[in-house]
């Protein structure tokens, strides 16, 4: 019996949830992850929930990056960013895909001019 890499689940693209807006950061990350898995014959509709977790956390992480750039690095923003990074990297690890290189924690910087 020849079992594929997604066995016991069928191979193929999962349906993208409506909550992922077309052209959004999450949409691009969804496509990147699915393409990576598909190239290795490891993509299954069964992974849709985990791909959603990764894509959503990645988008949230980008929003916190932008907020820190605009408002400065506060403890609350830094903690929220770190939570998103951890969720994203864990989901990527579980999916066996490399995380986007931007998914790093930002080093702490003292507030300037305070």
Q: Is the bond leading into 8 cis (omega within 30 degrees of zero)? A: yes
Sign of the torsion formed by the C-alpha atoms of 15, 18, 22 and 25: negative
Q: What is the mean pLDDT of residues 32-41?
A: 95
pTM: 0.84
Each residue of 54-103: pLDDT tens digit? 999 999 999 999 999 999 989 999 999 999 999 999 999 999 999 998 87
Residue given tokens 């986007």 in the structure block: 100
């Amino acid at each position: 019996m020849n079992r594929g890499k997604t066995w016991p689940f069928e191979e193929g693209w999962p349906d993208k949830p409506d909550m992922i807006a077309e052209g959004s950061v999450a949409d691009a990350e969804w496509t990147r992850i699915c393409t990576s898995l598909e190239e290795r014959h490891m993509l299954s509709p069964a992974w849709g929930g985990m791909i959603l977790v990764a894509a959503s956390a990645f988008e949230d992480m980008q929003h916190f990056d932008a907020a820190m750039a605009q408002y400065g690095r506060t403890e609350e923003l830094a903690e929220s960013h770190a939570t998103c990074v951890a969720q994203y990297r864990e989901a990527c690890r579980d999916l066996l895909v490399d995380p986007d290189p931007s998914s790093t924690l930002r080093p702490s910087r003292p507030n300037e001019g305070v």
